[in-house]
Structure formats: C-alpha cells, structure tokens
Amino acid sequence: MTRVTLELKKQQPNEPQYTIQQLPDTDRPRERLISQGPESVSSAELIAIILGSGMKGKSVLQLSQEIIMHFGSLKGLAEATIEELRQIKGLGLIKAIQLKAAITLGLRASKQNTAVRYRIDSPKNGYHLLRNLLSTEKREVFYVILLDTKGYVITQEMISTGTLSSTLVHPREVFYPAIRNKAASVILAHNHPSGDPTPSQQDYQLTEKLIQAGKLIGIPIHDHLIIGNESFVSLRETGVNFNCV
C-alpha cells in the first residue's frame, strides 16, 4: 500500500462528506428556503439553519441528521430536554438552547392556530372581529379578513392607513395576502373616523373595482363592512351584488 493511500485512509473517517459552503447556492438550505419556501427544505436542513454551524470533522448537516436519528422522530426531539440535547456530541449548551427555543416557539404557534377558530357566517360576526381595532381609529384604516373554504378566519391584515376622511387601496395590496395565505375568499372592512358608517360613493366605487379584481383571480369578496363608533354597515345588505356563493 502506498504512502498516499495510507494518508487518505487516515483522513476519511472523521471528515464530513460535504459542508454547506461546498454546495452550489441553489442547494444550500437557507437559499432554497428563501427562493422556494420552507416546504422545500427537509427537517434536518431546518435544524441546520437553526444551528448555523457544525463542529470540527462534522458538518452542520451531519449533526442535524444525527440529532433526528438520536431521538427517532420530530416528536421525540420536541420532547427532549436541554440536558438530553447536550448529550449529542457537537451540540453544546448554546446550540441546545437555540434548538429548544425554536421548537417551543413552533409548538406554541401550532397550538394557537388550532385552539380558537372564528367562523364568519354573518356581517355581524365580521364586525365583532374588527370593531375593537377600527372603531376608535382617528384615520381611515383598511383591513381584509381572509377566510378558508368553510368560512373560518385564517387571519386579518391591515392593508393601508389614510387621512381623516380617505384611504388609498390598490387591488394588489388587498389580494396579495389572500394569495399568500391561500384564502378561499375575503371580507373587506374599513372605518369612518367621523363615527358615521354611512357608505360614500367612493366606498361603492372601490368595492365594485375590488369585486371585479377578485373575479379575475378567483378569490371572491363576500362583503365590505364599514365600521363607525358603535355601529356598522354591510354593503352586501345595502344591495351590492358580490356574486359569490
């Protein structure tokens, strides 16, 4: 056996197959998460992103794979204590804390999303959802409520703020969060700082414009609520044809 062969055999056992820095940009977990979304990244790669770095002789990807294998599943990993995490070689106190914090945050978000579901099946439900946010505003504020296929609220987002008497709203600003959150339909809402929710001609014109935009992209608008101090008006109930099932 030559000396060169002996040297290679000495180096191979402890060296990683590759490091993240050696990968093409398109194959690196962080870059792929940015360009293709979190669904394109494996659980081990997500852990690697959280940890940031490995150790001498072990890449962060190898360390992440060992962590999952050690606990058998993501459920087992989620239940692990910091001390149990530290038993893995290369996972010191700081990295163990970072990993535990990230997992705990994800679990809390998951519980929050499933714990309370609010269904809107009448204009009054939509009003109750937003009245505390809008009834005391001193400027016009425009919101969109995003709904799933069964009418449950996915989330509500503020689209824009305006002056004491008006706000500017563009269809792309209304429907971008709906597309991003895969909403089946939306409800529009804005306030009248004067306290009087009587619709203006501009309110009707804007609503018609947004209804047409929703038809084009396949996301119907169920209603447009105008909120005053202690009352509201549903444009659907005033006779506006939203043409949605």
Average pLDDT, stretch 162-176?
A: 77
- Which pLDDT score is estimated for 58? 84
166 with 188, same domain?
yes
88 with 134, same domain?
no
In a domain? residue 105:
yes
140 with 211, same domain?
yes
Q: How far apart are CA 171 and CA 187, in angstroms?
A: 13
Q: Is a pLDDT exceeding 60 seen at residue 7?
A: no
Contact (CB, 8 A) for 155 and 187: no
**pLDDT confidence tier of residue 112, bands split at 50, 70 and 90:** low
Of the spans 25-29, 151-155, 165-169, which averages the highest pLDDT?
151-155
- Which pLDDT score is estimated for 220? 96
- Which pLDDT score is estimated for 234? 97
pLDDT digits (tens, 9 = 90+) for 175-206: 999 999 999 999 999 999 999 999 999 999 99
**pLDDT confidence tier of residue 106, bands split at 50, 70 and 90:** confident
Q: How would you classify the pairing of strands 185-191 and 153-161?
A: unpaired
Q: How far apart are CA 61 and CA 67, in angstroms?
A: 10
Provide the residue type at 84 as one letter: E
Contact (CB, 8 A) for 25 and 31: yes
pTM given for the model: 0.56
Q: How far apart are CA 21 and CA 198, in angstroms?
A: 60
Domain stop point among 55, 87, 115? 115
> What's the domain range around 86?
3-115
In a domain? residue 167:
yes
110 with 150, same domain?
no
Q: Is a pLDDT exceeding 70 seen at residue 233?
A: yes
In a domain? residue 240:
no
Question: What's the order of all strands across the beta sheet hosting 221-227?
Answer: 153-161, 141-147, 185-191, 221-227, 232-234
In a domain? residue 244:
no
Domain stop point among 80, 115, 150? 115
141 with 102, same domain?
no
Average pLDDT, stretch 83-110?
A: 89
In a domain? residue 239:
no
Percent residues over pLDDT 90 in the chain: 51
Q: Is a pLDDT exceeding 50 seen at residue 148?
A: yes
Contact (CB, 8 A) for 221 and 234: no
- Which pLDDT score is estimated for 41? 83
110 with 128, same domain?
no
Q: How far apart are CA 136 and CA 227, in angstroms?
A: 10
Domain stop point among 58, 91, 115? 115
CATH no. for residue 216?
3.40.140.10
In a domain? residue 128:
yes
In the structure, how many helices (H) and strands (E) does the chain have?
10, 5
Looking at every residue in the chain, the average pLDDT score rounds to: 84
Contact (CB, 8 A) for 168 and 159: no
- Which pLDDT score is estimated for 135? 78
Maximal C-alpha separation, the chain: 92
In a domain? residue 241:
no
CATH no. for residue 41?
1.10.150.20
134 with 107, same domain?
no
Average pLDDT, stretch 144-161?
A: 93
What tokens appear for 28 in the block?
A: 């690196």
Q: How far apart are CA 110 and CA 105, in angstroms?
A: 9
In a domain? residue 178:
yes
- Which run of H or of E encompasses 90? none
pLDDT digits (tens, 9 = 90+) for 14-72: 444 555 555 555 567 778 888 888 788 888 889 988 998 888 888 888 899 999 999 98
140 with 105, same domain?
no
187 with 230, same domain?
yes
159 with 102, same domain?
no
169 with 223, same domain?
yes
Number of domains in the chain: 2
143 vs 161, which has greater pLDDT?
A: 143
- Which pLDDT score is estimated for 8? 32
Q: How would you classify the pairing of strands 185-191 and 141-147?
A: antiparallel
201 with 228, same domain?
yes
Q: Which residue has the tokens 């970072």?
A: 98
**pLDDT confidence tier of residue 81, bands split at 50, 70 and 90:** very high
